[in-house]
Chains A and B, each alone.
Chain A
Amino acid sequence: MAEQNEKEDLLLGFVGLYGTLTPGGYIGGILITDQFGKPREFKCTHAVRPTAIQKPLYGKTLEPYIGVELCGTPLIGSTTNKPALIMVDKDFLIDIRIKSEYPLIFIRRAGEAVEVRSSTGEDAASRRERVDSATGRFQPIVFEAHPRFDDDRLCAKRILDEVFKDIDPLEPFERMGKAIEVLARQNNKFQ
């Protein structure tokens, strides 16, 4: 029973950055689930819509700035549940870790090419780790932690080994995308 309670308390966070329904905007979202993927908390930002001047001024730093500074970090700060591990599906979001107290990793499907845009890009390849689903239900994933937080790797490995048999850690990002799409259809603050 105690073990079950402990399992129930193992919370996972998923932080994503999504394009708005009308092109040119961004919405950040965080979903906190239990280890079986059931939602415990969902928060998302209103749409951030950079102007025509802001886009060239920020250049390549635009998405990382919005994703990390404007959305990711405040979203994590706004949650009431405390996740044991936060996962992001975009490499540049890994910098959220700098201002976050929770272990954080960037995950992607094994074999997928990725364009490195984060500040961790230089030796990222050496820090990537592959995880296979113990039940074989899901395709393997690759993850990497922020170079300044090497302990996150060990923590993430332990948690992923535990949960990857029940849930696909990349799937909740799809849910968030759908949910944000529904929100956008109902309320123009998310458009």
Chain B
Amino acid sequence: MLLSHLTFPDRARLGLAKRTFPIKPSKFMLVDILEIGLVKPLINQVHVPSITRPKIIPDFALRYPAKEEFCVFPPYQVIFACENPVCSCKFSTSIYKDQFGEKVLIKCPSCGETILFIAGNEIFIEDCTKQLWGEDALSNIENLPVELVSPRIAGKVYRAEKTEEAERALFELEKEGENRCVHGLKKSWCSNCIAKKKEEKSLKGSDLFDLIFPILMPPPGRNLDSPLFFTGEKTLYPFQRDGVKFLAEHNVALLADEMGLGKSIQAIIAIRILIRTGKIRDSLIICPKSVLGDWEKKLWEWAPELSVLTVRGSPEKRLMWWKAIAHIYLATYETVRQDFGENLASNGENIEKTSFNLVVLDEIQKIKNPGADVTKTVRSIKSDMRWGLSGTPLENRIEDIISIFRYLKPGLLRDMDGISPSRVKGGIAEYFLRRRKKDALPELPEKFHEEKWLDLTDTQMERYRKAEEEGIVDLNEHGDSVTVQHVLALITKLKQICNIDPVTRESCKLEYIEEKIEEICDEDEKVLVFSQYSEKTLPYLQTALEKFSPEIYHGGLSERERDEIVGKFQNEETPKVLLMSVKAGGLGITLTRACHVYHFDLWWNPAVAAQAEDRAHRIGQKKTVFVTSLFTNGTIEERIEELLRKKRALFTEVIDDLSDTKLPKILSEEDLFSLFNLKRPSLKSDLKEKVGDHRGMTLDPKSPQEFEKIVSQLYNKMGYNIKLTQQSKDGGIDIYAKRVSESGSEYLAIQCKHYPNSVVNVEQVRALYGVVQSEPQLTKGVLVTSGRFSRECKEFARGKRLELFDRDYLLGLLGKYEL
């Protein structure tokens, strides 16, 4: 067999095809050398898949000449780049050999621009393979950046004066040709426009470069007294440095220093360290409304480089605040309850920011009640670190601590741990720090307690006895249906008479303190007078003590008014006397100008009184503080005090470590009944049976009026004083109910809807909410129905000052109260 008879693959298999060489980038020719010289050489070509077309980068190919370049034959393909700078498109066209040396006009297919072209042999490359014609010859040219381009620059100048200049410039923009505002003034002259602009600016909060400013500050180091860290003469006490270290090193911490030892300052410095070292970026501080201004002031004094946003104002404004950038967001429990509560209800549609690096709860005992809305809302806020601050984390029961730690460190304590205080103490030891004034601040002036037992005036005594006798008769008339609310209402009435006779305005306590205040003012010292009755007692005291120009501080004042009063009392000569609601003035604020404190009456819980008097006995106080509690002999005050004294004796040392108060549970219901030699009526144990008796029987046949009557009786049984409104023109309210309890007074607006087997819709709940909103003195609105509530109703009521009682719940209450 001749070799030439073999096919090329066969020859290749036999190893007879030995050499290959490329003829073009995309082709290879194989030559069978054995046949050279023997016969006419047989040339075989094998098609090799073409190599992917190269991408030519303009920085290499760089600029294309107007007419050029890859040309193939025949005909010659020439690529042109349009000379029109707007078009610049590339296109190819054929040039034939007979056009060489001639002037050819080429027209751009896109824009129609004409290019004059003279073809010359020298610019052409001859291509031997027809296969490379057309597309393959026209390389696709793409732009790929080789050169790195300069990045944009961002940043900030931090010199204070520059910022001020910029702010000034904001309002001095134009001088001439300035547009007039809607108020008809030049924009830079109009106070309304300037105020609006300022507000808009403040609503934007800080920028990103304000956020990193503390990180750019020199590191705080270990020495917290470094002048680089604090401005002015501010320094920390050694025990405060320990507290700062404790907080900064713990993701979960409860700082429970005794009141007046500067818990908030320690927290601020710890936050400052964490932010300056880049460990956290933001934090949320939640505090009671009464101390919001105090926190603002302390943050400004102790952490001036941090940007602080106080979230307050209208819901729309608050929404803006939550969106703004800041290191510290400062808000009250109520604000958080409203904003994040609604956020929860709307699945986070309102507030985007639902997590913080750190959440600090001042007076953390506010979330001790696990069922309260505020507790649920605060627990829903995500955070990496959680700190609690409280002088009295345990106000009443060991369960308070368990509840607090359920937020701080979920899973650490269980409900059953409450039976063993030592187990609770051991469990929280790692996360708990508490120092007492006597240990931490031996140099703090002493605090002397004194009880002053006074006799009621004759008129007062007469009024008191009459009220007590009538009250006891009334309680007895209630029989088994008497509740603790009835007892509390009577106690309140009697205590108010002990303070001041409501008719003659006689008061043994007033006579006493008037004389004392005169002496104190002569010595150029100041006095705090606390009472729990901000409406019944404090206004009367203000009138009676007018010669001392007293100011009243109570919960009804705005934050600005509160701050003004505190500032005036601390910094100015007058007022000499500050009359304070024990609840409003009991937390956070500093009133060290006073060294005399009078408790005109005492709250049920001594911890509250202690909180109040420590407004004066705290860091900054240079004089001994004299605290006097006023009691009246032979009255309910004496009996209550006696009961409390017995309770204190039973208090264990374990609990004492956790609280300022020595009271396991303030007063039980049995205790309260015993004040009037009454026994607490026993409740029927089998409520279910009772409920069953009522189910479907009691409510259905009633008319709307009878239904209202049932509801009013129920609330009366629950200890409320009831006022029924007119049948017509009732303003959307059927019943007003009021009661005084251990935790304050409650004022309800009740609307009854007798819709058996029917559904109450959302419009009716909206109407009630409108009434509640228009009457701020109302605690909440209650809608009671003999039917059911629609889903929209329940959703609308969630997180608002509204309560809905449907048929089942109402029957349960009727059974419980044996109606």
Contact = CB atoms under 8 A, between A and B. Distances in A.
Interface of A: 27-28, 30-31, 36-48, 50-51, 53-54, 57-58, 65-66, 69-71, 74-75, 78, 80-81, 167, 171, 175-176, 178-179, 181-183, 185-187, 189
Contacts of B145: 51, 54
Given A38-B218, A182-B212, A182-B215, A48 B155 contact: no
23 contacts: A28-B151, A30-B155, A36-B218, A41-B157, A43-B154, A44-B155, A46-B151, A46-B152, A46-B154, A47-B151, A53-B146, A69-B150, A78-B155, A171-B219, A175-B219, A182-B211, A182-B212, A182-B278, A182-B281, A186-B211, A186-B325, A187-B208, A189-B152
Contact of B278 (A39, A71, A181, A186): A181
B212 A183 contact: yes
B182 interface: no
Contacts of B154: 43-46, 189
Contacts of B151: 27-28, 45-48, 70-71
A115 B774 CA distance: 75
A41 B181 CA distance: 36
B228 A179 contact: no
Contacts of A81: 157, 159
A89 to B, nearest CB: 16
Chain B: interface residue count, which band?
20 to 34
A42 B219 CA distance: 16
A189 B217 CA distance: 23
Contacts of B149: 70
Given A36-B228, A46-B152, A65-B148, A175 B215 contact: yes
B213 interface: yes
B216 A45 contact: no
Given A40-B159, A178-B278, A186-B208, A75 B216 contact: no
Contacts of A75: 153
B228 A37 contact: yes
Interface string B128-158: 0000000000000000111011111111111
Given A36-B228, A178-B278, A182-B215, A42 B158 contact: yes
B809 interface: no
A40 B157 contact: yes
Nearest to B325: A186
Given A38-B218, A185-B281, A187-B208, A66 B153 contact: no
A48 B147 CA distance: 12
A42 B209 contact: yes
A129 B152 CA distance: 35
Contacts of B159: 40-41, 81
Instruction: Specify which of A53, A80, A179 lies most central, judged by the most chain B CB atoms within 10 Å of its CB.
Output: A179
B211 A41 contact: no
A54 B145 CA distance: 8
B218 A171 contact: yes
A137 B351 CA distance: 48
B32 to A, nearest CB: 42
B158 A43 contact: no
Contact of B148 (A36, A41, A70, A182): A70
A38 B152 CA distance: 25
A185 B213 CA distance: 15
Given A45-B153, A186-B211, A167 B158 contact: no
Choose among A50, A176, A182 the residue with the greatest number of B CB atoms under 10 Å from its CB: A182
A39 B606 CA distance: 50
Contact of B146 (A39, A57, A74, A178): A57
Interface in B206-243: 208-209, 211-213, 215-219, 228
Interface string B143-184: 011101111111111110000000000000000000000000
Contact of A58 (B148, B211, B217): B148
Given A39-B213, A178-B215, A186-B211, A50 B148 contact: yes
Nearest to A187: B208
A183 B153 CA distance: 13
B275 to A, nearest CB: 10
A179 B218 CA distance: 12
B216 A183 contact: no
A15 B413 CA distance: 51
Nearest to A75: B153
B61 to A, nearest CB: 15
Given A65-B148, A70-B151, A78-B155, A38 B278 contact: no
